[in-house]
Amino acid sequence: MVSRPTLPSVDPTPSQLLLVDSVDRPGLVHQITGVLWRHGANILTNHEFVDREARRFFMRTEFAGVAALGAVVTELEALLPPGAVVRIGRAGSHRIVILATREHHCVGELLLRHAYHELGASIQAIVSNHSTLASLGERFDVPFHHVPHEQVSRADHEAAVLKALEPYEPDYLVLAKYMRILSRSFVDRYRQRVINIHHSFLPAFVGSRPYHQAFERGVKIIGATAHFVTEELDEGPIIAQGVVPVSHSYGPNEMAQAGRDVEKIVLAKALKLVFEERIFLSGKRVIVFD
Amino acid sequence: MVSRPTLPSVDPTPSQLLLVDSVDRPGLVHQITGVLWRHGANILTNHEFVDREARRFFMRTEFAGVAALGAVVTELEALLPPGAVVRIGRAGSHRIVILATREHHCVGELLLRHAYHELGASIQAIVSNHSTLASLGERFDVPFHHVPHEQVSRADHEAAVLKALEPYEPDYLVLAKYMRILSRSFVDRYRQRVINIHHSFLPAFVGSRPYHQAFERGVKIIGATAHFVTEELDEGPIIAQGVVPVSHSYGPNEMAQAGRDVEKIVLAKALKLVFEERIFLSGKRVIVFD
Amino acid sequence: MVSRPTLPSVDPTPSQLLLVDSVDRPGLVHQITGVLWRHGANILTNHEFVDREARRFFMRTEFAGVAALGAVVTELEALLPPGAVVRIGRAGSHRIVILATREHHCVGELLLRHAYHELGASIQAIVSNHSTLASLGERFDVPFHHVPHEQVSRADHEAAVLKALEPYEPDYLVLAKYMRILSRSFVDRYRQRVINIHHSFLPAFVGSRPYHQAFERGVKIIGATAHFVTEELDEGPIIAQGVVPVSHSYGPNEMAQAGRDVEKIVLAKALKLVFEERIFLSGKRVIVFD
Amino acid sequence: MVSRPTLPSVDPTPSQLLLVDSVDRPGLVHQITGVLWRHGANILTNHEFVDREARRFFMRTEFAGVAALGAVVTELEALLPPGAVVRIGRAGSHRIVILATREHHCVGELLLRHAYHELGASIQAIVSNHSTLASLGERFDVPFHHVPHEQVSRADHEAAVLKALEPYEPDYLVLAKYMRILSRSFVDRYRQRVINIHHSFLPAFVGSRPYHQAFERGVKIIGATAHFVTEELDEGPIIAQGVVPVSHSYGPNEMAQAGRDVEKIVLAKALKLVFEERIFLSGKRVIVFD
């Protein structure tokens, strides 16, 4: 109770982000920063990484002082190797939709951060195959769509979900404990834009009731992995991971609670990285510039 | 998204807690468990610790199968050294009131856990010297009392806060970023029942704007301490602590955000220990049976 | 450089440990502490846990003031359910032999702690299927036995290892990166007395070159698991686990280095628990009283 | 025991490091990478950071393919603002001397890593004001100099230490629990090249016997801070920090042991960053490019 409130210092210079993902070749940093320089940019932070196995080049540049952002992108696209992706970052302005089932912990965490402008993205809606979380959405004035999966085919259910998503034009879908497997065509529709949170164990457990298995095996650590969803079942490129210690005195329910606690933290951490445009995908790996 | 929901296994035997805090003397465990045994108890977990410096004995026993709990307590009180405190634990049934100022992160975390019966206590109300968090309380249907501190004396403000608290008969007060120093008489009124969360740094910083100081000093870790509030200014016995890594790229605001994230986790962890009756106070130290 | 050396405070009362592993039945704590009480014991710390699934009772009691330890054990054996294991703990006096192959990091850590009496056990010898670590053993004056596995059958190699171990009468074998699979009969010979350290990943990787797989998959955390070795291939009951963060900038070699760093810490932590007699085995799970 | 040895993959392209520390001005990245580009460099990783408060620019570039490193430096020195420091990194080839007193844990950790070429620097000697660690130096064939501080003035003792250091021409002095305060003139002699490891607590404790104070206060976390030594007493710019959990059952000695364990890990981590040339000093802060 004895500390005083932190008054945020407002940084006077607004800054912008340039993001480049390209086949590697010598001279890229020089060429890219040359374009920025000619447009009057002052570079504040620059991250660059070459994935030597994949021969790909990734760069994230925070800069100030440029008026003609469109021209920067156009010049860079002309200059860079064919297929290079050049973007002006949109940190803080992404639109997301949450897909959930019945568990509240991740959804609640995201709604709270959203309500206080700490999420770095705007939650447009929650779509769920159950109605359980409708009241949670209501508490935070976020539209909730119940799209039941019972007595419809998988394809029809996915079509209904896609239809519910469409008007929100989401930049990202966040699977906040969405307990349905997505089809390849669904994932392709939001390619590299679907993020999932998944419990993780050492060792890993196959099959159902993982926390019961973890309990029976007496694990001392429970983890969570946030990852992009790809067409390959289960786990795509990893964005963030975390763990919490557990002990022999935890039953399966206590282990599941510990798992929920770490899942929401890891998901929030991964989303922060994504929404701050600190993430590049390089094959099966995620480059994190933090 | 590929895991299936965990269906909690219901443990068939309801269990109870015996809590003993006494001057130490030989034979205590034997005598206490003798009383339990004669009342038909099966002990499930037993934690016992002797603070050899303070010569005090602490015991937490989870047991099943006893009908006459009152008789157990009466017999133990007769048997144990004078001044011994014998209690039947009330895990999960505590009543709390939250004191807050303007920051939402800890209050929001507690409200979410409360809404889903994960807090282990029931939030009766929020009392604040500002009105900022009124809408957050409303979202979760928790009464909010604005008790302004402007243009009243410290004594009058505290009297008004105490009056607001009274009808709720709280077992614990949780200072969830309450930015007012409590007087000795206020603390005495809720002796050993006021819990605070406080940012912590290595090294520690004196004075205002601690995150600016932490930034200027380039700390690589930011921490939080949950503690009981005592008459001594600032920090009482520590219940739980935690840290998060930060880097040179964090400005004061990012450091403050990292601090908020760790504060809410550490406060929730400390409260879980308190509400599960896993905590004993021994002088300036907290014994944690987990 | 500004701190002053810590002068250890000598605790005047020597204490002892009683360890009980038994089928559960009501009244055990009372009966066991009754025997201690009649022998004049003052209990300093008591940990008790009932594995309700396995219906087993585990107790670790630190006490002072008893002369006739043998009589305590005899009385308890008569009193407790058939098959109960009653032991006086030997914290700090175990004899161990290290089995290793070529990696130095775990062996070096254990030798350093051994040299400064921090291991809680006495390293009798190092046995290895390679000669690589001979010089490391020499540096710390610990006998080194090279038992090559080339051009001998698995059975003959194990027989030679067992023969090398025999004169040292080890209480525990510590597999400090021993890269050979032990046969069932070997493990049975040192039943519940063989401890291994193993890298761990989330998700787990099957097959060879795990750090290359971890690199390709872009994991953000690398872990280690210390466990008892059982007849079932790979992993037995888990004693301790730990993780370290890694990033996209780590190649396979850097990941392996991070893995080595966490392996040695987790192994040392697990051994400390074992040598302080804080460990009970309950089926596939390890009860840790710390 | 079931994993197979990791065979390090040799990366075929040798790479080099360019390090620039300069007053900030627009265009620096472009100009610097232009020089590299004209000399045929392929940039593999580039870290750049502008300390906006201090208006300083820091850059660490890993590149391949340049023959004329000297010419690169010369051209850059001509090009950059006056006072800019341009260096070719010497990752892995630093010479260090360890200063120690009586505690072995940090010295032992560094000697082990040194013996297996994992330290990233070469330990030239150990200098100590006590003879306690002489045998440890001997075990690893590292020269040990006992420079007693008894019955000599502080100035004379420091002069003797400096004289012992001189023939080794160390790039860095590592204070591995050196329990003497260094004078301003000594620190100036090895300006920004003296690294210390220090225990850290939340809250911080002033005065002697910190672990006793930590015990009495019941802290739940013990930490360590590795930092550059500056003329200001106690703590200079922080390189790395870490913590370990402790509990009420730890006495002062167990807390001190936990402190030693985290100190050696944090010191090793900080030195790795320094020896890999990932560190820049910006006023009181350390920029870490990892």
pLDDT tens for B173-214 read 999 999 999 999 999 999 999 999 998 877 676 677 888 888
Residue tagged active-site, from D156, D188, D234, D290: D234
Q: Are strands C221-228 and C238-245 parallel, antiparallel or unpaired?
A: antiparallel
Does residue B10 register a pLDDT over 60? Answer: no
3-class secondary-structure state, position A150: coil
CA nearest B268: which of B128, B133, B113, B92?
B113
Q: Which chain C residues are within 8 Å of D234, Cβ to Cβ? A: 2
Q: Which chain B residues are within 8 Å of D228, Cβ to Cβ? A: none
Tell me what the mean pLDDT of segment D64-93 comes to: 95
Q: Nearest residue on chain B to D221, judged by CA atoms?
A: B241
Tell me how far apart the alpha carbons of residues A135 and A148 are, in angstroms, rounded to a whole number: 16
Over chain B, what is the mean pLDDT?
Answer: 91
> And the tokens for D80?
């950059």
B243-253 pLDDT per residue, tens: 999 999 899 99
* Contact partners, residue D96, CB within 8 Å, separation at least 6: D121, D122, D123, D124, D170, D171, D172, D173, D174
> And the tokens for B275?
């509400």
Q: Is D73 in the same domain as D119?
A: no
- A7 belongs to a structural domain: no
> CB–CB of D48 and A45 under 8 A?
yes
Pinpoint the alpha helices (H) of C2-46: 28-38
Q: Nearest residue on chain B to C31, judged by CA atoms?
A: B30
Residue appearing with tokens 């032999």 = C97
Q: Nearest residue on chain A to B208, judged by CA atoms?
A: A4
Q: Is A20 in the same domain as A124?
A: no
- Interface residues from chain B to D (CB-CB < 8 Å): 49, 200-204, 216-221, 223, 225, 235, 237-243, 247-249, 282, 284-288
User: What's the pLDDT at A269?
Assistant: 95
- Answer with the one of C88, C122, C143 that is the final residue of a domain: C88
Q: Is B65 in the same domain as B186?
A: no
D: neighbours with 3+ CB pairs under 8 Å? A, B, C
> CB–CB of C9 and D252 under 8 A?
yes
Q: Is A46 in the same domain as A113?
A: no
Q: Is D219 in the same domain as D100?
A: yes
Q: Number of Cβ pairs closer than 8 Å across A and B? A: 119
- D198 belongs to a structural domain: yes
What ipTM does the predicted assembly reach? 0.90
CA-to-CA dists, residue A128 to A148, A161, A190, A194, B221, angstroms:
7, 9, 17, 15, 38
Q: Is A55 in the same domain as A198?
A: no
Q: Is C60 in the same domain as C106?
A: no
What HEC string does chain B produce? Answer: CCCCCCCCCCCCCCCEEEEEEEECCCCHHHHHHHHHHHCCCEEEEEEEEEECCCCEEEEEEEEECCCCHHHHHHHHHHHCCCCCEEEECCCCCEEEEEEECCCCHHHHHHHHHHHCCCCCEEEEEEEECCCCCHHHHHHCCCCEEECCCCCCCHHHHHHHHHHHHHHHCCCEEEECCCCCCCCHHHHHHCCCCEEEEEEEECCCCCCCCHHHHHHHHCCCEEEEEEEECCCCCCCCCEEEEEEEECCCCCCHHHHHHHHHHHHHHHHHHHHHHHHCCCEEEECCEEEECC
User: What's the pLDDT at C134?
Assistant: 98
CA-to-CA dists, residue C114 to A182, A183, B286, C98, angstroms:
54, 56, 33, 12
Does residue C4 register a pLDDT over 50? Answer: no
Q: Which chain B residues are within 8 Å of A249, Cβ to Cβ? A: 45, 290
Tell me how far apart the alpha carbons of residues D238 and D173 are, in angstroms, rounded to a whole number: 16
B: neighbours with 3+ CB pairs under 8 Å? A, C, D
CA nearest D228: which of D272, D197, D259, D182?
D197
**Burial of B232: CB neighbours in 10 Å, binned 0-12, 13-18, 19+:** exposed
> CB–CB of A247 and C204 under 8 A?
no
- D7 belongs to a structural domain: no
Helix-helix angle A252-275:B252-275, to 10 degrees: 170
Q: Are C44 and C12 in contact (CB under 8 A)?
A: no
- C10 belongs to a structural domain: no
> And the tokens for C269?
């932590």
User: What's the pLDDT at C10?
Assistant: 39
> CB–CB of A30 and D37 under 8 A?
yes
User: What's the pLDDT at D148?
Assistant: 97
User: What's the pLDDT at A289?
Assistant: 94
Q: Nearest residue on chain D to A59, judged by CA atoms?
A: D46
Provide the CATH number for the domain around residue B172: 3.40.50.170
Shortest Cα distance, chain B CAs vs residue C50, angstroms? 5
C: neighbours with 3+ CB pairs under 8 Å? A, B, D
Does residue B168 register a pLDDT over 50? Answer: yes
Instruction: Tell me the residue type at A134.
Output: A
Task: Transcribe C106-173 into DSSP letters.
Answer: HHHHHHHHHHTT-SSEEEEEEEESSSTTHHHHHHTT--EEE---TTS-HHHHHHHHHHHHGGG--SEE
Tell me what the mean pLDDT of segment C60-66 comes to: 93
Q: Which chain C residues are within 8 Å of B3, Cβ to Cβ? A: none
> CB–CB of C26 and B48 under 8 A?
no
> Which of C101, C210, C257 lies nearest to residue D118, judging by beta carbons?
C257
* Contact partners, residue A37, CB within 8 Å, separation at least 6: D26, D27, D30
Banded pLDDT at B233 (limits 50, 70, 90): low
- Interface residues from chain A to C (CB-CB < 8 Å): 49, 200-204, 216-221, 223, 225, 235, 237-243, 247-249, 282, 284-288
Q: Are B111 and B174 in contact (CB under 8 A)?
A: no
Shortest Cα distance, chain A CAs vs residue B272, angstroms? 12
Task: Tell me the longest C-alpha to C-alpha distance in chain D.
Answer: 63
Instruction: Report percent pLDDT > 90 for chain B.
Output: 80
Tell me how far apart the alpha carbons of residues B123 and B202 are, in angstroms, rounded to a whole number: 33
> Which of C1, C109, C198 lies nearest to residue D196, judging by beta carbons?
C1
- Answer with the one of A65, A88, A111 that is the final residue of a domain: A88
Provide the CATH number for the domain around residue B28: 3.30.70.260
> And the tokens for B286?
């907290």
3-class secondary-structure state, position A132: coil
Q: Is B135 in the same domain as B69?
A: no
> Which of B211, B233, B261 lies nearest to residue A2, judging by beta carbons?
B233
Local structure of residue A168 (DSSP, 8 states) = G
> Which of B37, B45, B52 lies nearest to residue C30, judging by beta carbons?
B37
Does residue B165 register a pLDDT over 80? Answer: yes
Q: Is B40 in the same domain as B174?
A: no
* Contact partners, residue C258, CB within 8 Å, separation at least 6: C222, C244, C246, C250
> And the tokens for B228?
């009981």
> CB–CB of A50 and D44 under 8 A?
yes
- Interface residues from chain C to A (CB-CB < 8 Å): 49, 200-204, 216-221, 223, 225, 235, 237-243, 247-249, 282, 284-288
Q: CA angle, D173 as apex, D170 and D175 as ends, to 5°?
A: 155
> CB–CB of D257 and C118 under 8 A?
yes
Residue D234 annotated in active site: yes
> CB–CB of A2 and B112 under 8 A?
no
- C175 belongs to a structural domain: yes
Banded pLDDT at D6 (limits 50, 70, 90): very low
Q: Which chain D residues are within 8 Å of B219, Cβ to Cβ? A: 238, 241
Pinpoint the alpha helices (H) of C177-220: 184-189, 210-217
Q: Are strands C285-288 and C279-282 parallel, antiparallel or unpaired?
A: antiparallel
Q: Which chain B residues are within 8 Å of D59, Cβ to Cβ? A: none
Q: Nearest residue on chain C to D242, judged by CA atoms?
A: C244
Helix-helix angle C252-275:C105-115, to 10 degrees: 40
Banded pLDDT at D206 (limits 50, 70, 90): low
C92-110 pLDDT per residue, tens: 899 999 999 999 999 999 9
CA-to-CA dists, residue C28 to B30, C72, D98, D236, angstroms:
10, 15, 55, 57
User: What's the pLDDT at D208?
Assistant: 76
Q: Nearest residue on chain A to D53, judged by CA atoms?
A: A11
Residue D22: give the domain boundaries.
16-88
**Burial of D156: CB neighbours in 10 Å, binned 0-12, 13-18, 19+:** exposed
Shortest Cα distance, chain D CAs vs residue B218, angstroms? 5
> CB–CB of D5 and C198 under 8 A?
no
Shortest Cα distance, chain B CAs vs residue D33, angstroms? 22
C214-245 pLDDT per residue, tens: 888 899 999 999 999 987 756 789 999 999 99
What does chain A come to in residues? 290
* Contact partners, residue D232, CB within 8 Å, separation at least 6: none
Q: Are C110 and C48 in contact (CB under 8 A)?
A: no
- A225 belongs to a structural domain: yes
Mean pLDDT by 10 residues, chain A (290 residues): 39 81 94 95 91 93 93 97 96 95 97 95 98 97 97 96 98 96 94 93 73 88 93 80 92 92 96 96 92
Phi, psi of A115 (to 5 degrees): -60, -30
A: neighbours with 3+ CB pairs under 8 Å? B, C, D
> CB–CB of A243 and C237 under 8 A?
no
Residue appearing with tokens 């409360």 = B114
B44-103 pLDDT per residue, tens: 888 999 998 899 999 999 999 999 999 999 999 999 999 999 999 998 899 999 999 999
Count of the separate structural domains present in chain C: 2
CA-to-CA dists, residue D226 to A212, B214, D170, angstroms:
42, 16, 19
> CB–CB of A112 and B104 under 8 A?
yes
- Interface residues from chain D to A (CB-CB < 8 Å): 11, 13, 24, 26-30, 33-34, 36-37, 40-50, 52, 59, 65
Tell me how far apart the alpha carbons of residues B144 and B146 are, in angstroms, rounded to a whole number: 7
Q: Are D22 and D256 in contact (CB under 8 A)?
A: no
Q: Are B59 and B51 in contact (CB under 8 A)?
A: no
Instruction: Tell me the residue type at C242.
Output: G
Instruction: Tell me the residue type at B78.
Output: A
Q: Is C163 in the same domain as C58?
A: no
> Which of A28, A45, A49 lies nearest to residue D45, judging by beta carbons?
A49
Q: Is C101 in the same domain as C190?
A: yes
Banded pLDDT at D53 (limits 50, 70, 90): confident
Q: Are C186 and C206 in contact (CB under 8 A)?
A: no
Q: Nearest residue on chain B to A246, judged by CA atoms?
A: B290
User: What's the pLDDT at B79?
Assistant: 96
Pinpoint the alpha helices (H) of D24-133: 28-38, 69-79, 105-115
- Answer with the one of B88, B117, B142 that is the final residue of a domain: B88
Tell me how far apart the alpha carbons of residues B145 and A148 are, in angstroms, rounded to a whole number: 40
> CB–CB of D3 and C199 under 8 A?
yes
CA-to-CA dists, residue D241 to A245, C241, D266, angstroms:
20, 21, 6
Local structure of residue D187 (DSSP, 8 states) = H
Tell me what the mean pLDDT of segment B120-144 comes to: 97
- D3 belongs to a structural domain: no
- B233 belongs to a structural domain: yes
User: What's the pLDDT at D205?
Assistant: 67
> Which of C216, C243, C284 lies nearest to residue A221, judging by beta carbons?
C243
Does residue D8 register a pLDDT over 60? Answer: no
> CB–CB of A116 and B104 under 8 A?
yes
Shortest Cα distance, chain B CAs vs residue D161, angstroms? 29
C246-263 pLDDT per residue, tens: 999 899 999 999 999 999
> CB–CB of C223 and A243 under 8 A?
yes
> CB–CB of C221 and A241 under 8 A?
yes
Q: Which chain A residues are within 8 Å of B261, Cβ to Cβ? A: 265, 268
Tell me how far apart the alpha carbons of residues C92 and C70 are, in angstroms, rounded to a whole number: 19
Q: Nearest residue on chain C to D251, judged by CA atoms?
A: C9
Q: Is A23 in the same domain as A114?
A: no
